[in-house]
Chains A and B, each alone.
Chain A
Amino acid sequence: MKYIKVAAAAAAIALAATACGGEKKDDAADAGKDPAQLKVWMMGDGTPEQTKFLDSVETEFKQKHPSTDVQIKYVPWPQVATTFQKAAAGGEGPDVTELGNTDVQSHIEQGSLADITDEFNGWADGKTLNKTALGNDTSDGKIYAVPWYGGVRGIWYRTDWFQELGIQQPKTWAELTAAAKKVQDAKKVPGIGIPSDQTNALLSFIWGNNGAVAVEDGNGGWKGQLDQPQAIEAVKYYAGLVSTEKVAPEKYIGKNELEGPQRDFALGKLGMYIDGSWALKEMKKVSAKNADKWGVFPIPSKTGGNAPVMAGGSDLAVWKDSKAKAAAFDYITVLNNAKNAKGWADYSGFSSMRSDVKFTDPKLEIFTQIATNTKFPPIGPGWAEFEQAKKVLPNTVKAIMQGKNADEQMKKANEQANTLLNP
């Protein structure tokens, strides 16, 4: 009897092992015909509201493709890199996917995205899309993705505290430090949250001092600028808020803005912190008690005026292995039509990349102003490793916050920029 059981178990295991690879449905229908299924990957954890929104998009999409079933899969941001690796290795990729805009160039370089130049040129709405963002989706004159939404960051602050203490909106770095100090002394909470792992904020300070991470060298490569005085001064100021001015607490060293500052600000335990428009709904989830006293002002540059901010955001692309490219692009046009773009902006708090869709919430209006002055970091194929795998800037900032010599650290970071950004 035991032999039979063992044999049965062995057979079951063998079956399970082969089942993984065996099932390959043949949906190689003609590209023009409606596919039975369209796989759409959305980044982030997904919420019931988002699912509801995407359901209405599907209904609209089905008017044109009645026999196609849209399958949404949410990919949490921390798992994005590994999920796309698996998609590339196993061939089980999406048809349509959302992509973080800093990742688009890496995907293009790896040959994961379909060339959609022709489809794009045939799409009337394409002309409303932000040109800078579209440029980031282009390589050698070919278009591989479509800008969907964007987000810029500002400094969240407490309007009631600023009023009570008579603080004007800081226009320079010195005023920002002074404001943080005043809040910290009067309210007994840290003045501002400066995490070491927040490159998007750090970039605004580097750019606000006319510095740069790297500049194009003219031969298609990048030349590091982190050892230049402008960048060093900016990083010294940023890290100095923690180490020398002591208006930012040490508890955010090694963290990002979501691992402390956002929660503490929402709870009224932090004076200011840097985040985007989408933070509003997240903070309301933590505590909506002071929500009407939250305000935003642009990140100041060193000597006055708004510093340029990094244009974060997401784009939409058709996966190269997709068997239904036409339907996939159709889905993008429905998802990003004027009506749905507005619905998405209203729900998510991200601004649309369409020039004909504006923010309606007055609280978020300031972000429209901030968004007039955006910049991109050196987003080449090497940026992913520089920023995600090696986290060069966060680790440099951390070292400087903990008292290491800034000039030496920045020199090292610049050497890494020179190698990693030119893979």
Chain B
Amino acid sequence: MLDTAPAVRRAPGRRTSGRARPGRRPRFGPYLLIAPTVLVIAVLMFWPMIQIGIMSFQKVGNRQLRGEPAEQVGAENFDKILNDPFFWQTFEHTVLFAVVAVTLTLVVGTLVGLLLNKLGRKMSGFVAGGVMVAWATPPVTAAIIFSWLFGTTGGLVNWFLDLLPDALVGGGWLDYNWFATPLSTYTVLTVCVVWQACPFIAVSVLAGLKSVPGELYEAARVDGSGPWRTFWSITYPMLKPIFMVLLVMSIIWDFKVFTQLFIMSGLANRDAFNLSLYAYSEAFGSLNPKLGMGSAIALVLTFILLIVTALYVRVMVRQGETR
């Protein structure tokens, strides 16, 4: 879309100036237009990121926040965390959670998208409205709702599981503590995060499906292709660019999940920490903040995400090339 714009803009008169390209005056207009955005991003994003980079090599506490010069400690912070088995435990949690949550989000989201495409106008609107509520719910609200749903006294899930016959799900559900072990905590977390993230996938897939020409499906039907075959032979290849973008974005989102886990299990359950929570507990967990350590952890997380983002940009650029 964007690459066609200059062609339209180019005034015919300009052409006559021939090869005078090197001598052309730089055009400030476009830069002026993006300047406010760049400025805001620079102030709100780049500057803090640079600060984090600087702080990760320092020892920063409340005294330093008050204006005292910070002590340079070199790579000590990184040395400490990379040699700490606890860091690797949180790293493992982060990666495992991302793998499971991303897979589930994409599968469930795609299924909902396919369903929306199949439904009639009214029903499709109704279902879309329903899933949008999940998307519009703020993470804090969603986390509180889910910790209530899975809570002990008055928790809906435990109550329901207890009602089911014991032969099916076992007994003793009424007092089951979902947030006692990492595995069960992450089960609830995954349900919560997938519930919130799949609407976006569904709507994106739906938008893609609308652009696939109907003749292709017609032809497939005539050739006797079932739904499974149709999906993998037509829908998936046609929507591959969309899926790639959704995949990378989901990975980025699920890597940095913090709010939900913070509310559900908090600082008293270190065995369920992920990288974001670990960074938070170091930097903001107490009145004796270790902002340097927190920055170092955040920087490692950022580094991982940068790799994923690089992948994302590559995908975007590739898509641009094929068009």
Q: Which residues of A contact B (CB under 8 A)?
A: 6, 9-10, 13-14, 17, 80-82, 84-85, 88-89, 103, 106-107, 110-112, 190, 196-197, 249-256, 260, 263-264, 267, 269, 381-382, 384-385, 387-391, 394-395, 398-399, 402, 423
Bound: A9/B40 CA distance, A: 12
Q: A251-B175, A254-B179, A254-B268 are in contact. Are A382 and B33 (CB under 8 A)?
A: no
How many Å lie between the Cα of A33 and that of B68 in the bound state? Answer: 30
Q: How many residues of B contact A (CB 8 A)?
A: 34
Q: Which of B248-300 contact A (CB under 8 A)?
A: 265, 267-271, 281-282, 284-290
Given contacts A251-B152, A255-B268, A394-B268, contact A85 B284 (CB under 8 A): yes
A264 to B33, CA, bound (A): 60
Q: How far is the CA of A398 from the CA of B176 in the complex (A)?
A: 16
- The residue in chain A whose Cβ has the minimal distance to the Cβ of B285 is A389
Closest Cβ–Cβ distance, residue B206 to chain A (whole Å): 31
Tell me the complex Cα distance, A382–B179, Å: 28
* A385-B269 contact, Cβ under 8 Å, with A6-B36, A250-B175, A254-B180: no
Q: Report Cα–Cα, A250/B177, bound state, in Å.
A: 7
Query: Which residue of chain A is the closest to B151 with respect to CB atoms?
Result: A260
Q: Are A269 and B268 in contact (CB under 8 A)?
A: no
Q: List 30 A-B residue pairs with CB atoms under 8 Å apart, sorted by A's residue number.
A: A9-B36, A10-B36, A10-B39, A14-B36, A80-B287, A81-B289, A85-B62, A85-B289, A110-B61, A110-B62, A111-B66, A249-B175, A250-B175, A253-B180, A255-B268, A263-B153, A267-B153, A269-B153, A381-B288, A384-B286, A384-B288, A387-B286, A389-B267, A389-B282, A389-B285, A390-B285, A391-B267, A395-B271, A402-B180, A402-B181
Within 8 A of A (CB), among B21-71: 33, 35-36, 39-40, 43, 61-63, 65-66
Residues of A within 8 A of B269 (CB): 254, 395, 398
Q: Which of A9, A81, A252 contacts B286 (CB 8 A)?
A: A81
Interface mask (B149-192 → A, CB under 8 Å = 1, otherwise 0): 00011000000000000000000000111011100000000000
Nearest residue, chain B, Cβ from A420: B288
Give the complex CA separation of A103 and B288 in angstroms: 9
A17, A80, A255 — most chain B CB neighbours (10 Å):
A255
Chain A residues, Cβ within 8 Å of B180 = 250-251, 253-254, 398, 402
A266 → chain B, closest Cβ, in Å?
10
Contact residue among A88, A260, A395 (Cβ-Cβ distance under 8 Å from B270):
A395
* Residue contact A423 to B289, C-beta cutoff 8 Å: no
Q: List 15 additional A-B contacts (Cβ < 8 Å) besides A254-B265, A398-B271, A423-B288.
A: A81-B287, A82-B284, A84-B62, A85-B284, A89-B65, A106-B286, A110-B288, A112-B66, A190-B175, A249-B175, A254-B177, A264-B153, A385-B286, A391-B270, A398-B269
Which B residue's beta carbon lies closest to that of A17?
A: B43
**A13, A80, A267 interface centre (most CB from chain B within 10 Å):** A13
A88–B268 CB distance below 8 A: no
